[in-house]
Structures are given as structure tokens and as C-alpha cells.
Amino acid sequence: MNAGITSAGRFTFSFSAMYYRLITAAKPVAAGRPLFSYAVLMYERGQFPGQRLTSVIRLINGLPIRSAALCLLYACKTYRFRGAAISFTIKMTADLCSSELTRIEASCILMNMYTKIYIVRHGQTAMNHAKMLQGRSDTALNETGIRQAEMTAVKLKEMGIGFDHVFSSPLVRARETAALISGRPAQIQVDDRLIEMDYGPYEGMDLSDPDEKIRTFFSDFVHNPAPEGMEPLHHVTERLGSFLEEIRKSHLSGNILISTHAIAMKGALEYLSPDSKGSWWSKYIGNCAVYMCEIKNGQFSVPEEVRLTDIIVQPGV
């Protein structure tokens, strides 16, 4: 394996995939060379920059294998390895350490990784402004909605919040909001489970003069079931819960942005608040409102509102 330093002072490495397989298969007892080589591999794949790489090298090169493995796992946590890299790290450390470091122990370390989920309602649309029941109508943000999303992005940035993963409802207003807030439109992952509640025959209704069935339903979501033809609220909670559980089990690390809709967002908040007893359904959630929960020790925390000042608020629904 050849190592050098570029003019920018970063390490560059070249080694063959065959050599990498050989050294990882060797499983030396006294040194962390396979882990060193894995750190190099992650560097070459752009997982973390040169300064972080040298820190990992200093920690793991020449350490007893168990200590080296633990250092790599914590590097994985600190530097936010993702997806396949995390799974490979667990497998590799467990294989290298045999009985000294179990898969369970490795997984427990990784489950303590820093993960925060930010759920945002999309910015305003013309239908919101007109107080119409929007549902799954695929309407774009209006000028106010664009400004709301842009201002939300600025406020979150001022708070030091950026996003490592971005998910969105398939509807255009949510995707536009996700792109404006995250600044990463190409990284948006669309998931149908984040779509708004299906209002069926009531979609497009003027909420300033609603049908009596809608008036009754909206007056007490907990005790009055959704009118026939509309998606039941328990189904909204179930599909949002399914999505959130998938996020939890995937061990994604860092900040996660989820761009969705008012009722869908309430379904997510209900799922994350087992003791709420339906209280989220009657709470007003404005355009570009943001709520955050953490994943700690593999469990969701109770969501809290991220209070952003100076966000444009206009009458609407």
C-alpha cells in the first residue's frame, strides 16, 4: 500500500481490492491493520476527510484488536458512516474480534449514534390560502410558501442545523419544501407513506362553509370517525409509524428531514407520543412548522416543536 501527501496536506492512498481482502482475512491478533485499511477504504470513498482519517489512524494502528475495533466503531459514530458502511462495520468488527466483541455489543454502540428527526409541514399553497381542503391535490407552493421554506432554511442554519438525509411526500409542495429547506434537491428520497390523508369525495371543499359531516369530524377527531370515503386516522398513524420504524431500524445517523403535510404530520406525532390520547389531531400546525425528536438507545424521544421566529404566517389552513 502506497501513501503520500498532496499539496493540500491530505493523505492519498492506493491499494488493490485483492490486497484489502487479504489483510482483512488475515485477522492479526495484536494489531489493527485491517481496521486501518478499512479506514483508508472509507476515506477513498469520501466518507470522511483527511484530517479525520489521520485521527482514526493514530487511534487504531497498532492497537490490540478489540481496542482498535472499538475505536473504529466510535469513529463510525462520530463521522456518521451511513447505510452499508455501518452494516459492514458491525460485521467486520464482529468477525475480527470473534468472541471478544459481539455483534450485539457493536450494534449497541451504533444505536447510541446521534440521530435527530425533523418533521416539517410544507409551505403555503394557493389552496391553503383559499382555505380549501387540499388533501392529495398536487399543488405547488405559492410565493408565500416559497418564502416560508426559504426563511425556515435560514433559521435552521442559524441554529446550526443541516441535514444528512432528506425524505419527502411525493406531492410537489412537500418536495419543493424539502429542497428549499435542505438545499439538497438531488438527495431527496420520496416515500408514499408520507403523503397527505386521503379526503376522498371531500377534497377541494371550502372549509369556510364545510359539509356537516366534515364539520362534525373536525370538531372532535378523537370521538368522531372520518366520514365514509375518507382515510381513517388510525391508518394515517399506522403508515407514518411504519415509515418512522424503518428509519429507526436503519441506524441512519445525523439530522434527518421529513417533509410532509398537516394531517400526515399529526399522524407521525401521534405515533411518537404514545400517551397523547389523540391530542395531536386537534392541534393547529401551520405551514413550515417544525417538530423534532431524537433516537436515543434505539428509542424515539417525545417530539418537541422547534420554535422559529419571523416565519411568515398568513391566514389559511
Rounded to a whole number, what is the largest CA-CA distance in the chain? 76
Segment 209-215 shows an average pLDDT of: 92
Query: Does 156 or 298 have the greater pLDDT score?
Result: 156
- Strands 188-190 and 254-260 turn out to be unpaired
Answering whether pTM is above 0.75, one says no
Q: Give the pLDDT score at 39.
A: 52
pLDDT at 140 over 60: yes
Mean pLDDT score of the chain, rounded to an integer? 76
- Which of 257, 107, 114 shows the shortest CA–CA distance to 180? 257
Query: Does 220 or 105 have the greater pLDDT score?
Result: 220
Distances (CA, A) of 45 to 48, 108, 251: 8, 25, 20
Domain ranges of the chain: 2-111, 115-305
Q: Give the pLDDT score at 297.
A: 73
Q: Are 77 and 111 in contact (CB under 8 A)?
A: no
Q: Give the pLDDT score at 130.
A: 94
Domain 115-305: homologous superfamily in CATH: Phosphoglycerate mutase-like (3.40.50.1240)
Segment 14-32 shows an average pLDDT of: 37
Q: What crossing angle do the helices spanning 65-78 and 83-97 adopt, rounded to 10°?
A: 170
Q: Give the pLDDT score at 115.
A: 85
Q: Give the pLDDT score at 113.
A: 54
> Please, which pLDDT band fits residue 265 given cuts at 50, 70 and 90?
very high
